Structure 1
């Protein structure tokens, strides 16, 4: 057998596949898997921290910037939670306190995009696309599901096709903070925001369905994602690598990086521009598990009692002490990763040229 063909087979067998659902896609959530040799079999944009149209628009912008629209299909995910709506969201806040970040439920929220600003695959909804991707690869290379917003799209898929849980490779999620009540209550607005688990709070029922399903693997980012944040040191590294801030400002290819840097001066940037690398961190340790330095296994559930101040919060127990009257799931919670390597990967990935990926299946040297 031809040695090149053997190497191709080895590469194929060792590849991984992932379907991503998010409420506002970031560049590295796409580029990290590609850099690690994974295949993204689909992306869906859902309501959550953004409106559905804005989630789809943000996803389209990432795919267009890196010329990935021809090989990564883009679908519309859940446009609303399973049960929660604007009225019940407001009523719960009246009872138990107002959230700093309300995402698409904020009364002041205004759409940035309109539906005619972009194109996407509208042949099937995101939940069905997720199911089809899992079914198509279950016997050869099972698909990981990566849910970085509400769990609604995944819950829809489970409802339509319960075998999704055991035919997929597993589920990674962004969210699941715990032991953050003091920080949220005593900190500044941005500290409160960072310690509020909006991804679960916006659709607690979907989160409970998803996190207590019998996944082959369930990995939760949780608190660790709050610890890796932008800084002036990181900005300076990125600017130095580009040989100046104007290079980043003037080149459309660096549009996503420019949005991260904003002014290039950390102290001048807004609170939103200083948010942690939530989705990026989970993406990184999903595709490079050797980044993980410490993790714990717990029984988990989501509080779905509407008349509870912890409605939509993750609850964790040691397996021997989990409640018997509540359905729980088994999850691995990541406690620590190698911070320095994460930042190295971030810098390197932004300065690779991904615009030929759909034809060459990898980055090429970036000329800047």
Structure 2
């Protein structure tokens, strides 16, 4: 070994020790995940049809959540726009922003005031609701191209402000249930929540008319997608940090209880949406974990010191590099699932090359022949024929 190599090794060792001994509020902990599942049975690879395609490439950055109705697609984008798209003509017919700022481009430095809209659903004939990870919960009128705040992000719930409104579902005309993915880290630094195995996330019930909120479930590792179960007595939510879906009972004999709905998923789960039949649901997985190819978080779950070093290095990097670093840990292989109403996997869609299915955050059924795919980082909307 040359003197130069020795000095480099000593420098790296000194840096690692300094990081490990550093005292701050980023403190990864050990956690346990079951061995990733084999791709067999309903997980046996069924490669998506060659008719799958990417729509609006370059025009739709980060279409996290989607809604498809009667030939129209609604989504919100990384630059803060919420748009109505005519699928037949490809025209972006309506555009709504949640703020009046004009220099919104999706760059991390603009998100605090431009927002980053994520989950999207229809409230009634005229209004939609969107969860913005920086600004809070808003209503949108696409036809009038107007928005209005329902629950601002500075609202405190149990003494903590809403830090990361992510996804939600509508229980009735005046009640929504949404995920606050982390009360410690905002979206720019969501990767630190995973590296730390931060359990500050929670599920919140809120009144649309009054804005009053209360916590249903807390102590969660990045709660994400939310879907009211068709029984109307329970709500499902994905916990991305543990690769599972929970079911929380809102009414009936199990009211107030939480149980596991789906466990040891082959990826980190994101949004959940009912199929058009209402007899199954589609689950997006934004990061792969399977037998023989565990995720970075599986591999380092028992080694918090590795995640400590990685996280501290990321903290001194520009936010775009942090996002790319997270993407680099995610294999190209794409997969999403169809579950029955009891949480059993009944179907899976695979894209080994990740050309269509990659970093998927939502799968929505158009009621006919296709499924449309959202993503927090892709610059297109995927379209896949149903199996």
TM-score (norm 1): 0.26
**Structure with greater helix share of residues:** 1
